[in-house]
Chains A and B, each alone.
Chain A
Amino acid sequence: MKRSLLLAMLLTSSLAPSARAANEADYKAAYAAAEAASKEAAGMRNQWTVTVSALAAAKKAADGGDFDRATAAAKEAEALAKASIFQATSEKDAWKAMEIR
């Protein structure tokens, strides 16, 4: 019983931070990370339109004071930008597999 209670407390405490509402600092950190990844993708000439849209949505939500939504959109933008970087990197050689020979 004691053990279960301890586990439940640990679980609650580990989930607690994510349940907290995002603040401006969270948004700024998430946006900076997303922007850096997005710039890297653009430098590789492989920016995705959805990354640009997610970044714009993050900024719009932050301007309206909705930092939960802004942080979520910034994190989505970062994930999309990282996927586009992965695509550009793997396609450096992978394109040859599609070539007509």
Chain B
Amino acid sequence: MTARIHLLLGSLSAALVAFALTSPRVIAADKVDPVADAKAFQNFFFQKFPNVKHEDFVNGPYSMNEDMKRQWQEKEEFPPYEFALDAGKEMFATPFKNGKTYADCFPNGGIGIRQNYPYFDEKEGKVVTLELALNRCREANGEAPYSYVKDEMASLTAYMAYTSRGELMDIKIPDDPRALAAFENGKRYFYTRRGQMNFSCASCHVQSPGERIRAEILAPALGILNAMPIYRSEWSGMGTTSRRFVTCNSQTRAVPLEPQADEYRDVEYFLSYVANGLPISGPGARP
């Protein structure tokens, strides 16, 4: 009987030790850790494409294919986004009806700040993207908001991105559980399969960058937003980050969310944060 009790106690102690040893790992796996996530994310791409210079990932499909890269470099002499860039510069400097300008709404007069967007607004408790901040600036000054997906918004963000070219993406996640939740929500959105095609963002941009999908070469997810906004030949025009998300959803046969929905803001936060340290290359041009 005593032997049995000893055996039982021994087994119980062994089980407790085993639990104590394994439980911290379980907790660690569930904890939101953006720093570790960004490191793992970047390492994944650096190891998958050891011959691609790290700063080249922001050039999307051109970093994956030498022929395309040469064509793009030639096209950059007369880039297709140039008209939007010029229009954006003019719009940015043109005063609103009340005499104020966009420069009054942003730090450093809006110049060279693209790398800090999106940011987490602790007052609002939500992610604020550059597109959202621009429309809020307009509304605060008595102007009607622009469409989030193209035309004027793309021109404005093109100019602001241009003033930040070469600056390294520098997204901050404050020590605020709501900011961590936004990051985690963006990550969840990025990896979640949706639409009749049962694709997630990661299906194309993590599992298959460099591969062809029909005639196109898929861009890596790392640094994919650093080039926004972009001129797309497929669109015959400019498109914003919002337009990119909406189009991606439609292509998987999922009904897109409304531009600047919380999910889109959060996935932009996630993708931008994991690209920290990579240069801004926008505005970009894509096939």
Contact = CB atoms under 8 A, between A and B. Distances in A.
Interface of A: 42, 45-50, 52, 80, 83-84, 87-88, 91, 94-96, 98-101
B200 interface: yes
Interface string B19-42: 000000000000000000100110
B57 to A, nearest CB: 14
A91 B192 contact: yes
11 contacts: A45-B263, A46-B194, A46-B254, A49-B196, A49-B250, A49-B254, A84-B196, A87-B198, A95-B191, A95-B192, A99-B191
Contacts of A98: 191, 200, 202-203, 206
Contacts of B196: 48-50, 80, 83-84
Nearest to B197: A48
Interface in B176-233: 187-188, 191-196, 198, 200, 202-203, 206
Contacts of A48: 195-196, 253-255
B183 to A, nearest CB: 13
A42 B257 CA distance: 10
Interface residues of B, number: 23
Contacts of B40: 100-101
A52 B200 CA distance: 20
A84 B254 CA distance: 9
A68 B39 CA distance: 57
B96 interface: no
A76 to B, nearest CB: 12
Contacts of A42: 255
Contacts of A87: 193-194, 198
B83 interface: no
With most chain A CB atoms within 10 A of its CB, the pick from B37, B206, B253 is B253
A99 B188 CA distance: 9
Contacts of A46: 194, 254
